[in-house]
Amino acid sequence: RWKHAQGCLRESLHEQIDTPRCYRLERLPRAWPWEQIVALLRSIDRKEPGGHRDFTMLFLAARYGLRSSEVVRLRLDDIDWRAGTLRISQTKTKQALLLPLIDEAGDVLADYLRKARQPSPCRELFLRLRAPMGPIKPASMGGILEARIQRSGLPIKSTGTHGLRHSFAVHLLRQGVSTKSIGDALGHRRVESTAVYLRLAVEDLREVALPLPQNGRASELAFVDWRERVPRALFSKAKARPFRMTQFQSPFASFLDRYLAVRRALGRAFFNEERILRHWDDFLFRYHIGVAGFGARALQVWAGETSYLNANIRRNRLRVVRNFLLYYRRNHPRTWVPDSMSFPRSVPYRLPRLVSTAEMARVLTTARRLPPVPSNPLRAETVHLALALLFCCGLRRGELLRLRLKHYDEHDRTLRIEATKFHKSRLVPLHSSIARLWKHFLIQRGRRKLPVDLESPLIWSGRPEATLTGMSASGLKQNWQHLCVSCGVLDARGRTPTLHHLRHSMAVTALQRWYTAGINPQSKLPHLATYLGHVSPVSTHHYLHLTPGIRQAASRRFHQSCSGLFGTGGVK
């Protein structure tokens, strides 16, 4: 791209390079309970050859959270017995890390040097047992850990030596150590690197969860004509022309199939993109537009068929077609490609209509009045639990509808969200009130002889065709809008909040709660970001809105902290 911009390359070769899609923090950190780490170290017999060396290496990795490469590169000169420090040469950041030599670690190292380390001119701390004598390699430490786990007989699923580092970080978190201190001990340069381990700090994350709103006064359910109270735009939108083709039919058909196959091979799902390309392909087929006849006019006509959509959606549809045309131009240089500057400008998204705790309590109480249907006698209880999880746990709608009974750990009271947005998985600890609600709901399902096997969907609708998929998104949305209309939870234009607005409401309510409790909200933002499944608090800022309550609380906090700087009179 740089050489093309300089004019050294006539062709834009950078547009012909496909890169795989790599998602950050897809999997949960690999950590073991600290009790298992202690049991593993105690199981090592230090009287046998190599036992003392293996114990010392694994002890340092577990007690200091060192990487395997950092352990094997330790030298005798890195131990300062007089100052009581241990110097770590970090291979990842290329920086030296100075850690305190705790008494237990000093005793372990001294015992190893006196009894187990063979005399050698090598200055490395750990040496091979077999000839030729020399420093051990980083890859060997993984084999040492595997062998020691097998010989211990402990039920530990080995995930590599880095699991010891994760276990150390999680152990410190559960001891109440701050994220900044843990990052300094591990040698991290950014707080975001340490926040990864927050995903396993279940009890810390549980403090983010909201309790079930209580003491709500039920409202009368609206009648059959409740939709008439809501602006018609919510229910009568023009829809795209339906198509029934299962294969591409336009002159671009073969390249469209190849394009989708390449993108999916690189790790992209491309479900929405495929639907957009099928609409575009159907348009070309209907109007008999060939490769040579496709241009600005044809694209404008196709875009006009969806003029009822939001400008952001129309812009994205045009972007998907443009990306395909860039791919097609690799083999056909004369292909016309639209300029992205001509696409509709992005518009601000609709501001969320935040739902207060009192409003949510009224909605949940009213939800219990929903009448049962023949296919689902627990309709009221199902909708009540679904809305409670959305508000108290900040789940996305898709995450909720994909939940199975197997995703709940009754012992830890946690939900496991698997492969959600950007392929991420996370643990969502529940508040005790939500856990009781969950348990009561399962008991009712069992009494009604409804599916309770682990593969059953949590939000079950009872429809035969939905046995594996659960309630549909439109069904849950319709129940939510019915309840909002009945309870008067509407915005200034008479529109109901969307289900995603409950996620916004949860984040704002959690922030308000920390202000009220006198807790520094900045220290809790990493926990909120981890709970919501974000990579960093920067993504969470989208959900933090300056409500009147938060504005007043922030002003009071600023006054308490800084009033002394402005004299004895304070801030007026």
Residues forming the active site? 67, 92, 162, 165, 188, 197
Contacts of residue 134, defined as CB under 8 A and 6 or more positions apart, other chains included, come to: 122, 124, 127, 128
Closest CA to 511 of 562, 561, 552: 552
**DSSP 8-state secondary structure symbol assigned to residue 76:** G
Nearest by Cα to 487 from 361, 306, 336: 361
Peptide bond preceding 429 in cis form (omega within 30 of 0) = no
Q: What angle do CA 170, 176, 180 make, to 5 degrees?
A: 75
Q: How many CB atoms lie within 10 A of CB 363?
A: 27
Residues 236 and 384 sit within 8 Å (Cβ to Cβ): no
Based on its alpha-carbon atoms, the radius of gyration of the chain, rounded to whole angstroms, reads 30
Burial of 554 (0-12, 13-18, 19+ CB in 10 A): middle
Pairing of strands 79-80, 85-89: antiparallel
Check: CB of residue 390 under 8 Å from CB of residue 397: yes
Distance, CA of 360 to CA of 341 (rounded, Å): 43
3-state secondary structure of 415: strand
CA distance 202 to 413: 9
* Whole-angstrom distance, CA of residue 223 vs CA of residue 255: 52
Determine the Cα–Cα distance for residues 344 and 316; give it in Å rounded to an integer: 9
How crowded is the C-beta side of 389, counted as CA atoms within 13 Å?
29
d(CA 489, CA 232): 17
Q: Which tokens go with 118?
A: 């063979």
85-89, strands of its sheet edge to edge:
79-80, 85-89, 96-100
99 φ/ψ angles, rounded to the nearest 5 degrees: -115, 150
Cβ pair 399, 391 in contact under 8 A: no
Rounded distance, CA 572 to CA 558, Å? 12
CA pair distance 546, 354, nearest whole angstrom = 11
Contacts of 556 (CB under 8 A, 6+ apart): none
Q: What are phi and psi of 131, to 5 degrees?
A: -70, 150
**C-beta separation of 304 from 270 below 8 A:** no
Class of residue 453 by CB neighbours under 10 A (exposed 0-12, middle 13-18, buried 19+): exposed
List all residues 6 or more positions away from 214 whose beta carbon is below 8 Å from its beta carbon: 361, 433
The residue to which tokens 């309550």 are assigned: 549
Q: Which amino acid is present at 55? A: F
Q: Residues 450, 472: contact at Cβ < 8 Å?
A: no
**Rounded-to-integer distance, Cα 94 and Cα 189, Å:** 12
